[in-house]
């Protein structure tokens, strides 16, 4: 009982101290200072960032699968090399982001395990299939385009390691986006068959890409605190509108039709899109997209079949360390 | 371009370049199959890197072959519009990835050869081949280091990894002899100082292989039967499957620009 009483007093002191720290923390954020791994931060800030950065990392890794589906079938050697390099970049982004998440105190293994157990999410867009070569162009153009729109503001995110990771990631994503658009330009300048392939890909990807920005502002759960902490600087709907406004002229240049007959430009020059089918979004998030099961199965397979390799590497490293210690003792 | 097979005038130098280009492309393609499925992200990166190096080598060698041939073939026609009987790669590189041990043993056998081969080819009297060799040698040295480190880790890792690595060595050993064979079409190029005699590299290759496998506590097979045929287009059944995937777009949509 005595110790418990002492604990209570300590807790009260800590709460008081934490309130002071929290005020200081918010003042630093308001002054646009970066928060670094060893700085004090509220537990909820740490949790929010760990969730967001690890989801981002999982998205990069799962995102390797739909495009990886075309590496072995790319139509020319130049395209094959470019696609392989692109998917490899995504793996690099994943590694980089896991490292950023690790600075918040969770290991890569824990984070990956949560994803494989279905407890952590990744971007819903990767649950759609890549059916034709035009999908590779469309993913670069639209999916990477949407990712850039989301990620450019993250370069100014209050958490230092995440912001710095985003600077590098955005540079590479922007290259991918141009590469994707160049595939689309080539298709649209090609045969009727190629143009039809491009249009079909746009038809299938357009709405899922708009959903990448997340639920409408009216229903978004995380925005308020994320905005206060300067993790998020623009709302879902603001970013979505920016993306649509940037993309419509690009589609026009290609001679492609955005699959939204209700779309119209308003007096301010914004392209207003029709109602998004949020039931589909919810279904995909719930695991019922066209490829959710395949994506998870592929990641689990790679993880399980690679277990013996990781064990071998660990076992060899341990043996080597032991030998070195033994040698040093001689 | 049409989807029918192209015809290639396989003069000795064209054939020579095609054989090396096919080795690099097919092995690069095999490694690229791992992308997104490797045992750890670091290996997704590494295997993709090696694949990119090899595909890069293939592109340079195809372009060289097309130029020497002097018809209207190019890197893509050579890669996408030759059938299995026209492919000239080693049987070793077309073998399926199998497990990680099989992929790394295949890479180890090939890279230990390629490292020596490209270093020797830097002295080729053909300036283009010498330049390709200078770039490829640097890449191969790194590929060999990567593969050797894994052979040691797997061999001296756990019981399971040892068993798998030994199994892969036993399985792939018979495909190593082909790397050191030279037929009549190559002998003239060797005499002219354009090509190197691969047979002259076998001693040093065996030393590397022996040293690494010994450190890995693995054994080399006593069986010295060597399977051949890839250089003249007599492949394993695996290559046709690989090509049907690799070439599917060009065969389905003939003559288009991508």
Q: pLDDT (tens digit, 9 = 90+) per residue, A260-312?
A: 999 999 999 999 999 999 999 999 999 999 999 999 999 999 999 999 999 99
- Pull the structure tokens for residue A264: 């119209």
Chain A: nearest CA to B138, how far in angstroms? 19
pLDDT band at residue A222 under the 50/70/90 scheme: low
Res B200 pLDDT > 60 = yes
- A76/B80 Cβ within 8 A: yes
When divided into structural domains, chain B yields a total of 1
Tens digit of each residue's pLDDT (9 = 90 or more) over B236-258:
999 999 999 999 999 999 999 99
Pick from B36, B80, B156: CB nearest A64? B36
- A88/B45 Cβ within 8 A: yes
pLDDT band at residue A18 under the 50/70/90 scheme: confident
Specify burial of residue A2 (Cβ count, 10 A radius: 0-12, 13-18, 19+): exposed
- B33/A72 Cβ within 8 A: yes
The residue of chain B nearest to residue A63, with distances taken between CA atoms, is B36
Residues of B in contact with A296 (CB under 8 A): none
From the list A291, A57, A297, A114, the residue with the least C-alpha distance to B37 is A297
Pick from A78, A190, A319: CB nearest B156? A319
Tens digit of each residue's pLDDT (9 = 90 or more) over A111-158:
999 999 999 999 999 999 999 999 999 999 999 999 999 999 999 999
The pLDDT assigned to B29 comes to 98
Residue B229 zone, left/alpha/beta (φ > 0; ψ -120 to 50; rest): left
CB pairs under 8 A between A and B: 138
Tens digit of each residue's pLDDT (9 = 90 or more) over A154-201:
999 999 999 999 999 999 999 999 999 999 999 999 999 999 999 999
The pLDDT assigned to B256 comes to 96
User: What 8-state DSSP symbol labels residue B173?
Assistant: G
Residues of B in contact with A311 (CB under 8 A): 157-158, 160-161
- B32/A84 Cβ within 8 A: yes
Average pLDDT of B5-34?
97
ipTM surpasses 0.90: yes
Tens digit of each residue's pLDDT (9 = 90 or more) over B146-196:
999 999 999 999 999 999 999 999 999 999 999 999 999 999 999 999 999
Give domain status of residue B131, yes or no: yes
Give domain status of residue B5, yes or no: no
Give domain status of residue B1, yes or no: no
Q: Give the CATH number of the domain where residue B240 resides.
A: 1.20.1260.10
The residue of chain A nearest to residue B27, with distances taken between CA atoms, is A72
The pLDDT assigned to A330 comes to 81
Give domain status of residue B4, yes or no: no
The pLDDT assigned to B109 comes to 98
Res A6 pLDDT > 50 = no
Query: For residues B53 and B25, what is the distance between their CA atoms, to the nearest angstrom?
Result: 10
Tens digit of each residue's pLDDT (9 = 90 or more) over B63-94:
999 999 999 999 999 999 999 999 999 999 99
Percentage, residues of chain B above pLDDT 90: 98
Give domain status of residue B81, yes or no: yes
Give domain status of residue B158, yes or no: yes
What's the domain range around B152? Answer: 12-252
Residues 6+ apart with CB under 8 A from A32: A156, A230
Give domain status of residue B257, yes or no: no
Res A4 pLDDT > 60 = no
Give domain status of residue B43, yes or no: yes
């Amino acid at each position: 009982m005595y110790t418990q009483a002492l604990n209570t007093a300590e807790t009260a002191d800590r709460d008081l101290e934490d309130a002071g720290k929290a005020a200081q923390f918010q003042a630093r954020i308001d002054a646009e200072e970066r928060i670094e791994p060893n700085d004090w931060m509220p537990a909820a800030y740490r949790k929010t960032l760990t969730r967001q950065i690890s989801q981002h990392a999982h998205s990069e890794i799962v995102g390797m699968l739909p495009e990886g589906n075309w590496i072995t079938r790319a139509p020319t050697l130049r395209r094959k090399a470019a696609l392989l390099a692109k998917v490899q970049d995504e793996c690099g982004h994943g590694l980089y982001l896991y490292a950023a998440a690790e600075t918040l105190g969770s290991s890569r293994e824990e984070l990956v395990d949560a994803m494989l157990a279905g407890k952590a999410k990744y971007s819903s867009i990767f649950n759609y299939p890549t059916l034709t070569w035009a999908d590779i162009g469309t993913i670069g153009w639209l999916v990477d385009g949407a990712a850039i729109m989301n990620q450019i503001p993250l370069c100014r995110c209050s958490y230092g390691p995440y912001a710095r990771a985003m600077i590098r990631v955005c540079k590479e994503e922007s290259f991918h986006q141009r590469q994707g658009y160049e595939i689309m330009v080539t298709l649209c300048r090609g045969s009727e068959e190629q143009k039809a392939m491009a249009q079909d890909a746009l038809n299938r990807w357009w709405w899922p890409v708009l959903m990448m920005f997340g639920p409408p502002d009216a229903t978004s759960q995380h925005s308020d605190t994320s905005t206060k902490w300067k993790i998020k600087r623009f709302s879902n709907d603001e970013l979505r509108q920016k993306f649509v406004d940037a993309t419509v002229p690009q589609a026009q240049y290609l001679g492609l039709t955005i699959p939204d007959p209700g779309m119209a430009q308003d007096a301010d020059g914004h392209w207003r899109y029709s109602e998004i089918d949020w039931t589909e979004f919810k279904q995909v998030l719930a695991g019922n997209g066209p490829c959710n099961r395949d994506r998870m199965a592929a990641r689990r397979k790679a993880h399980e079949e690679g277990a013996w390799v990781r064990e071998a590497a660990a076992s060899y490293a341990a043996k080597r360390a032991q030998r070195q210690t033994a040698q040093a003792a001689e | 371009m049409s989807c029918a097979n192209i015809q290639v005038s396989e003069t000795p130098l064209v054939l020579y370049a095609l054989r090396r280009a096919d080795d690099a492309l097919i092995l690069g393609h095999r490694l690229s199959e791992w992308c997104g499925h490797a045992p750890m992200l670091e290996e997704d990166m590494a295997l993709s890197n090696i694949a990119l190096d090899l595909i890069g080598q293939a592109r340079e060698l195809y372009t060289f072959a097309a130029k020497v041939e002097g018809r209207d073939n190019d890197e893509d026609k050579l890669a996408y519009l030759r059938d299995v009987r026209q492919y000239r790669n080693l049987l070793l590189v077309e073998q399926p990835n199998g497990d990680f041990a099989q992929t790394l043993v295949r890479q180890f056998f090939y890279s230990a050869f390629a490292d020596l081969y490209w270093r020797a080819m830097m002295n080729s009297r053909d300036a283009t081949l010498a330049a390709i060799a200078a770039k490829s040698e640097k890449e191969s040295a790194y590929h060999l280091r990567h593969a050797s480190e894994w052979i040691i880790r797997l061999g001296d890792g756990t019981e399971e990894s040892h068993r798998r690595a030994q199994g892969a060595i036993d399985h792939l050993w018979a495909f190593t002899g082909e790397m050191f064979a030279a037929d009549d079409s190559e002998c003239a190029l060797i005499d002219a100082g354009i090509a190197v005699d691969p047979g002259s590299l076998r001693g040093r290759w065996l030393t590397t292989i022996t040293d690494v496998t010994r450190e890995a506590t693995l054994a080399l097979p006593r069986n010295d039967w060597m399977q051949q045929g890839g250089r003249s287009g007599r492949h394993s059944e695996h290559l046709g499957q690989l090509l049907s995937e690799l070439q599917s777009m060009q065969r389905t949509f003939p003559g288009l620009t991508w």
